[in-house]
Amino acid sequence: MEILRVDKLHLSFGGLQVLRGISFSLEKGEKVALIGPNGAGKTTVLNVLSGLIPPMSGKVILSGHEITDHPAHARASLRLARSFQISSLYPQLSVLLNVLLALQGTEKTSYQMIRPITSYKANLDKANELLASVDLLSKRDIPSQSLSHGEQRRLELILALAVRPIVLLLDEPTAGLTSNESSALAEMLSSPSNKDVAVLFVAHDLDLVFALAKRIFVLYYGKIIAEGSPEEIQSNQSVREIYLGENKGA
């Protein structure tokens, strides 16, 4: 079942064409990697899909509804979540409050002005459960800025998952992680609890790409130049030339 469709996205910054007719779709629960050299426009694709940058033309359709003009908060309400390349947390708030804010973001109770945020037991239990799943429960009361880099990356992922997404956009989720931490993250994303979550992730970490992705898009100067299974991409000559820097004659 198709959950996300992107149709002919175009975007320019001044005279620079950043996205040139990007089109692709994601099935329910599908894990797809978006790879390409630096400056290819990968993060920009995520910014457009999450509503942080409006495209100049093209369409974004989520669960059959066109969301091209929806602001970021409305897309989150439709269960489209994202993480950021550089950890994007609430640094002075505790780890627990970071997760509670993520859990209540799309709920009506987020407009409640008198009852303490910690008195919502269901959210508190869920937050503890999520933190336990990434070994951060013991650190729930310290400010998130005091976490190590690896812990911040894990919290970053939890904040995206707390939205209970149907589509999850991850920008370099393993940046700065050890290989063990990267494997744990790949395991977590492919675990049964996340089997219905469609994931589009940007990564330079090819171990993660090949461990998690069933399909790969290769982006080059704002255009998808190749698409296919990891094996197909590995043997694609254009990709080898452009992305891996191999010459035809080599």
Structural element, H or E, at residue 201: strand 198-202
Is 105 a binder of other proteins (CB under 8 A)?
yes
Exactly one of 41, 120, 199, 219 binds other proteins (CB under 8 A); that residue is 120
Whose tokens are 């040139």? That residue is: 20
Spell out the alpha helix ranges (H) of the chain.
Answer: 42-49, 72-77, 95-104, 121-133, 149-161, 179-189, 206-212, 230-234, 237-242
Q: How far is the CB of 64 from other proteins (least distance, A)?
A: 20
Exactly one of 22, 31, 48, 104 binds other proteins (CB under 8 A); that residue is 104
Query: Candidates 20-28, 37-45, 106-114, 125-133 — which segment interacts with other proteins by CB under 8 A?
Result: 106-114
Exactly one of 71, 129, 146, 196 binds other proteins (CB under 8 A); that residue is 71
Nearer to other proteins, 53 or 233 (CB): 53
Is 180 a binder of other proteins (CB under 8 A)?
no
Query: Candidates 44-52, 189-197, 226-234, 237-245 — which segment interacts with other proteins by CB under 8 A?
Result: 44-52
Exactly one of 34, 67, 163, 200 binds other proteins (CB under 8 A); that residue is 163
Q: How many residues bind other proteins (CB under 8 A)?
A: 36
143-150, Cβ contacts within 8 angstroms, sequence gap of 24 or more? 143/91, 143/92, 143/93, 143/94, 143/95, 144/89, 144/90, 144/91, 144/93, 144/94, 144/95, 144/98, 145/89, 145/91, 145/92, 147/95, 149/87, 149/176, 150/176, 150/177, 150/178, 150/181
Question: What residues numbered 192-211 form the site for other proteins, per CB under 8 A?
Answer: none
Exactly one of 77, 133, 183, 190 binds other proteins (CB under 8 A); that residue is 77
Is 110 a binder of other proteins (CB under 8 A)?
yes
**Secondary structure (3-state) at 18:** strand
Is 188 a binder of other proteins (CB under 8 A)?
no
Non-local (6+) Cβ contacts of 91 within 8 A are: 143, 144, 145
Kindly list the residues in this chain that would bind other proteins in the complex (CB under 8 A). Answer: 50-52, 71-73, 76-77, 81-82, 84, 88-93, 97, 100-102, 104-106, 109-117, 120, 159, 163
